[in-house]
Chain A
């Protein structure tokens, strides 16, 4: 009979050396450490990709500018988009899910801790490989360096004839590796949520955050394989002369678009659903009310996940589909607005009549609500095929999806940082610096992206290296670039705050926000095992039940 090998963990050193700390990170399978590693790596890639955006805005600040070359500009928008989606958005959600899901469901770790570590390292090495292209892309072939085919890498631009050298191959391989990481993380999340919940935590008692992460994990499992398959087909095209996407040899360039957007549009929801997850935890706590319409919120999230797989070709209205195709995808796209609207109304319903506390996490969530609504409205505008024909590939579209991903996703990531940093680090973030961060970023964001809609209406295409004077685009581009400077200053405030507060911040205690979910029942930061004794719950707000024995939730659920 096999004997289980159990060693006593070494007592932690008081002041471990850098080498010891790095070793701990390399070998860790602890969901909290891996979660923080995901978030730290994503924030690193965020600063790199954000700096790339700043360089692009500097290039566009005035007409006929030659601050950078056209080739560099093409690489910048490709690497910016790719990194923000695959190396920032996805890993941040993986990081938050890793850190919070086991704590929220009262588990000691993820169901598959080693697979969890493997997922992180796949993402991390994939990211390094992508950026390694800057050093090695030109080295052997002498052509190009970083990828320059746009983040959706349309065919036939990716064919050998138009993308010689290895830069496009770096893009394919890096995303392929990251995709493996995402898929194993999704499997792990599903296994954890279904198998590791503490006693009493039925599916309908799970926090909304956990529900949404479960749906996101399911979506990743369905959305990533088509992209991986398409990337392998593209590799075969480029290395072995297969002709899947070669139109001159009977292949189809449109096929790539279908494959890419079958992944790409659910991907937008994969990115934005964690934003919903964060908002659904923070808004109730700072409104002092339980979330309004919990079952409808769950149903709406499932509906969004389901419908998001039937809207992909609204990215392809300009390809020239049949009128039936256009109508179908326009209608399904508008249909997504229904469950999304339910969510927005329910968040407002949660706030309505509540005792709202305007702490930093709540401020960012309110910003999210306002901006995501605008993003949704411009999305509905673009869902109308004739409107899309006019504005496709213009800066209007760029403004729209930055409202989704910055105004929506990034704001809730900031909210999540302010909300859970005290739990992860044990100290509060500085409120004054946080307010500077919020207001600088909000003003900067609106300067950049509100104004970006207008040159789109005036005919300014996206991804152009420069433009002539006299088209009426100058002032809007100038304002957009000024906004980026404010956003950069705001991010600097956040970085200083994160570093300073880790040492000097006010001690947080176990439950600084008087919150209700299980992560606040343990210490800040939590021990390796999370809970000395695994909790038992009777309602969706287990801590509320203890704090308010006169009016516990289980009486009503």
Chain B
């Protein structure tokens, strides 16, 4: 709303649609028409007559021109008061000042690095898990079958011998679950990393994230995968998480960062492509 609103000419009267009872008559007619189905045919006949009357009346109301009435504008004393400038000024939070917690990264890791890091980290994690299976149970298929039990009821009820044997369906399901989760966690990591203090990226990636993730899994695994929960070895689990975190963190941390729109001027963000608006190659405006 612009402040010069009051300078526009205010008319003495304003044209508004004229009141009419035809819409009500028409609605009542339709109601009676259908009500006849549950009462008497005579009710429907009256309804039909009212419907026709209402339709014709309404038609006349708007053809050839709509009926209007002139509503006198209220005297100035009864009109809305002009909107006043507020005496209170605006205090805006600035990034970096005390108690302001926002961190808007000027540069971020590309999403592709998150997916790539997640996939490679997932391979590292799988290697550690399979190593555990080989050392503890003499079978690399053991951890794979346990993971598949999240979606396969047959594997959830399997005994140790079955868990140690190769199962094609289990392998495919475990592969899909593992790949999907690795990609998603890698993507999440890539998004989060620029918002964390950059000097400790190795710490975030290789230690804190696996610990937090392990804690979350520890709390919920009983619900998600009771079979895995009953047989899991937590030391090896944390080790595999750390392997994932270190590899993923390394790949993401060493990816080439890209600028976010935060660094762009307002006009560029609005989509204007004009000379001088965007920073061009070489750093010149």
Q: Which A positions have Cβ atoms within 8 angstroms of B?
A: 2-9, 11, 24, 26-30, 108-109, 113-115, 117-118, 121-122, 124-126, 128-129, 132-133, 136-137, 140, 166, 169-170, 173, 176-177, 180-181, 235, 239, 353, 509-511, 514, 518, 521-523, 527-529, 532-533, 535-538, 542-543, 545-551, 556
Contacts and interface: CB of A to CB of B under 8 A. Distances in A.
B273 interface: no
A353 B93 contact: yes
A527 B10 CA distance: 14
Contacts of A529: 14, 16, 71, 73
B73 A29 contact: no
Interface residues of B, number: 58
B28 interface: yes
A517 to B, nearest CB: 10
B270 to A, nearest CB: 9
Interface of B: 1-3, 5-6, 8-11, 13-24, 26-28, 30-31, 34-35, 37-39, 58, 61-62, 64-74, 78-81, 83-86, 89-90, 92-93, 266
Contacts of B61: 114
Contacts of A542: 1
A303 to B, nearest CB: 20
A551 B88 CA distance: 11
Contact of A7 (B14, B31, B70): B70
Given A114-B23, A128-B31, 5 more contacts: A7-B70, A29-B19, A114-B17, A129-B31, A548-B86
Nearest to B63: A2
Contacts, number: 178
A551 B2 CA distance: 14
The 5 nearest A-B residue pairs measured at CB: A542-B1, A121-B27, A2-B64, A118-B23, A27-B19
Nearest to B86: A547
A556 to B, nearest CB: 8
Nearest to B54: A118
Nearest to B1: A542
12 contacts: A2-B64, A4-B68, A30-B16, A121-B26, A129-B34, A180-B30, A521-B1, A521-B83, A523-B80, A535-B1, A535-B5, A537-B2
Contact of B20 (A29, A543, A547): A29
A163 B90 CA distance: 65
Contacts of A538: 1-2
Most buried by B among A27, A114, A176, A514: A114
B128 to A, nearest CB: 31
A9 B24 CA distance: 20
Contacts of A511: 83
A6 B68 contact: yes
A550 B90 contact: yes
A283 B153 CA distance: 47
B3 A126 contact: no
B8 A533 contact: yes
B70 A136 contact: no
Contact of B34 (A9, A29, A173, A556): A173
A4 B89 CA distance: 50
Contacts of A177: 30-31, 34
A9 B86 contact: no
Contacts of B30: 122, 125, 177, 180
A120 to B, nearest CB: 8
Nearest to A5: B67
Contact of A117 (B24, B71, B79, B83): B24
B70 A9 contact: yes
Contact of A173 (B14, B22, B38): B38
A4 B65 contact: yes
Given A6-B70, A121-B27, A547-B83, A114 B35 contact: no
Contacts of A547: 83-86
Contacts of B19: 24, 27-30
Given A28-B19, A510-B80, A528-B16, A546 B72 contact: no
A542 B90 CA distance: 16
